[in-house]
Structure 1
Amino acid sequence: MNEEGRGPSAEPLLALIGEHRESIRAALDDEQHALLLTRLTALAEAPPDDTMAVRRALQGVRLALRPLPFEHPVRAALDGVRLVAAPPGPAAVTEALALISLMAAPDPAPAGPTPAATPAVGVGDDRAPDPLLREPALSAAEATARCGGAPPPELIRLPDPPNGDRYPQFQFPTGGGTPHEVVLEVNRLLLADIDPRGAASWWLGGNTWLGGTPASLLGRLPDHELVGAATALVEGE
């Protein structure tokens, strides 16, 4: 506990990231790793006296680490980090800057001949590495029609270069209509406008707090329970 009694500060999480940086790099794909570096940079650049900026930056780092396997020591430690804790001090900023330098370093070139290029895997292919793009989704045109105009920024939008942007279908009522209000509320908490993959992973992944997949519980659980589960993630409760 810190001196304000609100949970540990950012330093333990940053130290753990540094300790396990190699296994983190191995567990995340290129896009996920780049996002983590971006979030660490935001934390390093957040003004220490701007509590909201620091809290959002810490939330961003934490969400960027959610794709790690549940058994990974950093992933296992996330729920113990309170984002409402006091802003990190100079040590955390120094740690974040050091992590950025270490984690951004290019991987050493492998010895021996260069392996042949692996053919690109298309979306829809059973070998596609991104399961989020295999989930039912609306096209940009369909989402625009359902929203009666440009989709709001907090709606999860997953870039899919070969086929156009995809809006996960769970965000909309099955029978038609505009997005679920509770989805928009939760997405705001999860910063879906800057981390759509992290938000989508929360909705489509198992959740011990709720006892199921949040997306499958829309309309079956009271909205406030979904919001509470997302708030617990954000605040580390």
Structure 2
Amino acid sequence: MNEEGRGPSAEPLLALIGDHLESIRGALDDEQHTLLLTRLTALAEAPPDDTMAVRRALQGVRLALRPLPFEHPVRVALDGVRLVAAPPGPAAVTEALALISLMTAPDPAPAGPTPAGSTPAGSTPAGPTPAAAPAVGAGDDRAPDPLLREPALSAAEATARCGGAPPPELIKLPDPPHGDRYPQFQFPAGGGTPHEVVLEVNRLLLADIDPRGAASWWLGGNTWLGGTPASFLGLLPDHELVGAATALVEGE
């Protein structure tokens, strides 16, 4: 806990990431892992004496970690980091540099030469390649990505609802077999343009560069609100939803 008793500061979170790099890599897909590395690089390049720059960069790291499973130790720790009560210092930049080094280190080389005719440990013997499993369609209960199981509009439907190209802050999830998907909660059930409060919150959550993180916030549990943010659209005042998102961004 920090001196104000309001939760850990930034450096312990970064150290926790280092302790769980292997499980983080297994929990994130390639795009998410690349985004995390990009955000850590931005943190490492932030001027150590510029508290606001370090804070903004660290917030980017936090958002990149939101797709982790809720039970993951790092995901559990995210809401405990208080960027306002305990502003990140130069140590956060140092920690980021160390993490980047670990995440980009090449895999260790084999211990010695492999005898002719043998198969290296951990490799697959030469032979026919098994047929790839068929792609799972968007919305299918078997889809490995829970975000793609949620009701969504196609790119054409979103364009029609927006009266033109959807705004960049609208969450757009790539789904290669079926095209881009726009989670349906962003639009009123009876038709019409996107909820203004959704666009406002999405701007706070940097949905244009981290749509998965923003979608995870809307569709995941939220202790501030006591439920899933998307389920409260039209039921709670807009300012309460904005406040919950601001609490995440500012670490309150």
Query: Partners in 2 of 1:109 and 1:118 — Cα distance?
Result: 31
Q: Matched residue pairs, number?
A: 237
The alpha-carbon deviation at position 158 of structure 1 amounts to 0.8
The alpha-carbon deviation at position 34 of structure 1 amounts to 2.0
The alpha-carbon deviation at position 55 of structure 1 amounts to 2.5
Q: Counterpart of 1:210?
A: 225
8 Å CA contact retained: 1:6, 1:84: no
8 Å CA contact retained: 1:48, 1:87: no
Moved more, 138-147 or 180-189: 138-147
**TM-score, normalization by structure 2:** 0.81
8 Å CA contact retained: 1:78, 1:236: no
Give matches, 1:44-55, under 5 Å.
Answer: 44-55=44-55
User: For residues 145-179 of structure 1, what are the alpha-carbon distances to aligned partners after superposition, in whole Å with 9 as ceiling and x for unaligned?
Assistant: 22222211111111122222111111111111111
Query: Partners in 1 of 2:109 and 2:72 — Cα distance?
Result: 26
Structure 1 residues 156 and 95: CA distance shift in structure 2, 3 A: same
Moved more, 54-63 or 82-91: 82-91
Paired residue secondary structure (2:157): helix
Structure 1 residues 119 and 236: CA distance shift in structure 2, 3 A: same
Paired residue secondary structure (1:35): helix
Q: Does 1:155 align with 2:170?
A: yes
Q: Which protein has the larger Cα radius of gyration, Structure 1 or Structure 2?
A: 2
8 Å CA contact retained: 2:70, 2:76: yes
Query: Partners in 2 of 1:212 and 1:67 — Cα distance?
Result: 17
Paired residue secondary structure (2:22): helix
Q: Which runs of 5+ in 2 are unaligned?
A: 111-125
User: For residues 29-78 of structure 1, what are the alpha-carbon distances to aligned partners after superposition, in whole Å with 9 as ceiling and x for unaligned?
Assistant: 33322221121111112233444432221111111212223332222221
Query: Partners in 1 of 2:243 and 2:149 — Cα distance?
Result: 28
RMSD of aligned residue pairs (Cα, Å): 3.0
Moved more, 41-50 or 226-235: 41-50
The alpha-carbon deviation at position 116 of structure 1 amounts to 7.8
Q: Counterpart of 1:168?
A: 183
Identity across matched positions, percent: 95
Give matches, 1:78-89, under 5 Å.
Answer: 78-84=78-84, 88-89=88-89
Structure 1 residues 232 and 109: CA distance shift in structure 2, 3 A: farther
**TM-score, normalization by structure 1:** 0.86
